[in-house]
Structures are given as C-alpha cells and as structure tokens.
Amino acid sequence: MLTYCYDGSTEGLFSAISHILRHEPDPGAAVLRKQGYSLFEEGIFIQADSKRADEMIRRFSSAYPRNARDVLFCVYAEQDGIETSLLHYIHLVARHGSGISGHLTHPAVSDIRHLSGKVAREVHRFKGLMRFSMLEDGSYLARMEPDFNIIHPLSLFFSNRLQAQNWFICDVHRSLVSRWDGKSLDFGTIESFIVPELSAQEREVQALWRTFFRHVSIPERRNERCQKSFMPIKYWKYLVEKQ
C-alpha cells in the first residue's frame, strides 16, 4: 500500500489524485494525505500542477456532473482526512459511472455521500437565511459564519438571483469575500473586517422589520425549541429579527 502526500491546496489535491489514477496500478489501495511537518514522514510527495488539476476537474465534471458535485462539496467541507476517500470515490466513479449507486456500502462512497449531504444542507439553509443590508454607497452586504467554506456556491446562486444589485458576501470566520458588480463575480480575502455604515433607508427598514416581527408573533404560542430545530441558534447572529 503506497502513501502519497500533497501540499494541502485544492490544486495539490487534484494533482495528486490525477497522478495516482494515471500511474498507480491499484488506486483503490493507495492512501492520500496532506504533507506533515515531520522530517521522517513517509510518502511520495506529488507537486501541485494547476494545468493537471484543472484538466482532471474539467474531464470529471463533464463526464460525471452529479458525482463531481459531491466531490466539490467535500472540498468545501475542508475536512482533514477525507483525501483518501475522495481518491477512492473518484476511482470508483471512473470505473462504474452511474453504477456507483450499487456501491453505497463502500466506505469511500459512504463517506463522500454523507459529507456532501451535510454541505449541501448548509448551502440550502443559507440561501434562505442570508440577509443583505444596503450600505451608504448603495451596494449590499451579507455576512455569514458557516461551518463549511460555501462562499463559492452561495455567490454563484446570488449572482443569478440578484443580478441587478451590486453586492458583497463576507465569510467573517474565514476572512473571505465575494463581490458582484452586476457583470462579473470576484473572490478574494480580507485582512480585517470593519462593519461599514448602513444607509439611512436600510436602518429604517430594519427597524420596521423588527417591529413587525415582534408584533406578528403570539407570545402564548412561542416555541423556541421548535424554532431552533428549523433554524439552529448558530445562524441567528446575522438575522435582523434576532438582533
């Protein structure tokens, strides 16, 4: 059983998987992990190659779009130790195609489907929980602190949903930001985040929304336990009605 290592980047991950699938006689027996910091760590290190990684992602996504979505969501999860399962899953999909559904008890398939499902559920939740606030310059800002690194799928969703507005989405926990200017979508990082001033209109709307939220609720029928089951408290931080 051979062990392979990569540099921890997404490019490095897919470069290593591409190399193993091309050169390893039995990819299903190989182990893939991040390179550690020990001088005596065993394993063959695979250098990141952006062209090789892009080519593999393009070909896999074109041939198996539904399975590629599972792989991509697992990458968004940023979970340590999932690399070997990703390698084995991609190898199985390449061998069996749509027949992968007949291998749901395989450890790699089970791991990837389970983790992908968790990420997909969080993406779905944030599509409904994101709150965009108008800033003084007329653009909109939405802040979030998700469990997984889902800024890419959410930004793609809102670039279609809110095409006419200029907006930013900020993952405060990871210091990541996306920007839509009405034509193109850009991603970047920020060193520190300072909450910008809201427009006067936004402050008025938020005040009205809080008033409506207080008055529309029926105190006798309040059930926080039920509320939390549908909308966990960890998502309340950036909800206007909960501030």
| 51 and 155 fall within a common domain | no
Final residue in a domain of this structure, among 75, 104, 122:
122
3-state secondary structure of 187: strand
Mean pLDDT to the nearest integer, 56-66: 94
The beta strands (E) that lie in the chain are given as: 3-6, 31-34, 44-45, 133-134, 140-144, 167-171, 176-180, 185-189
Q: How far apart are CA 142 and CA 208, in angstroms?
A: 19
DSSP tag of 143: E
Q: What tokens were used for 158?
A: 């809102």
% of the chain beyond a pLDDT of 90: 74
Q: Note the pLDDT tens digit of each residue in 25-38.
A: 999 999 999 987 65
| 152 and 234 fall within a common domain | yes
Residue 227 has pLDDT above 90, yes or no: no
Residue 41 has pLDDT above 80, yes or no: no
| 106 and 166 fall within a common domain | no
Final residue in a domain of this structure, among 95, 122, 149:
122
Q: Note the pLDDT tens digit of each residue in 121-131.
A: 999 999 999 99
> Which stretch of 30-39, 78-87, 203-212 has the lowest confidence by average pLDDT?
30-39
Q: Model's pTM, two decimal places?
A: 0.87
Q: How far apart are CA 60 and CA 54, in angstroms?
A: 10
Task: Tell me how many domains the chain contains.
Answer: 2
How far, CA to CA in Å, does 155 sit from each of 93, 186, 207? Answer: 28, 9, 27
| 147 and 82 fall within a common domain | no
What's the pLDDT score for residue 219?
A: 80
Final residue in a domain of this structure, among 75, 94, 122:
122
| 139 and 107 fall within a common domain | no
Mean pLDDT to the nearest integer, 166-185: 95
| 109 and 23 fall within a common domain | yes
| 73 and 104 fall within a common domain | yes
% of the chain beyond a pLDDT of 70: 98
| 9 and 103 fall within a common domain | yes
| 114 and 174 fall within a common domain | no
Q: Which amino acid is at 117?
A: G
User: What residues contact 185, with CB distance under 8 A and at least 6 apart?
Assistant: 155, 156, 159, 178, 179
3-state secondary structure of 173: coil
- Over its C-alpha atoms, the chain yields an Rg (Å, rounded) of 22
Residue 195 has pLDDT above 70, yes or no: yes
Mean pLDDT to the nearest integer, 77-87: 95
| 145 and 198 fall within a common domain | yes
HEC profile of the chain: CCEEEECCCHHHHHHHHHHHHHHCCCHHHCEEEECCCCCCCCCEECCCCHHHHHHHHHHHHHHCHHHHHHHHHHHHHCCCCCHHHHHHHHHHHHHHHHHHHHHCCCHHHHHHHHHHHHHHHHHHHHHHHCCCEEECCCCEEEEECCCCCCHHHHHHHHHHHCCCCCEEEEECCCCEEEEECCCCEEEEECCCCCCCCECHHHHHHHHHHHHHHHHHCCHHHCCHHHHHHHCCHHHCCCCHHHC
Residue 213 has pLDDT above 90, yes or no: no
| 138 and 98 fall within a common domain | no
What's the pLDDT score for residue 242?
A: 80
Q: Note the pLDDT tens digit of each residue in 88-121.
A: 999 999 999 888 888 899 999 999 999 999 999 9
Owning domain of residue 227:
130-242
| 194 and 136 fall within a common domain | yes
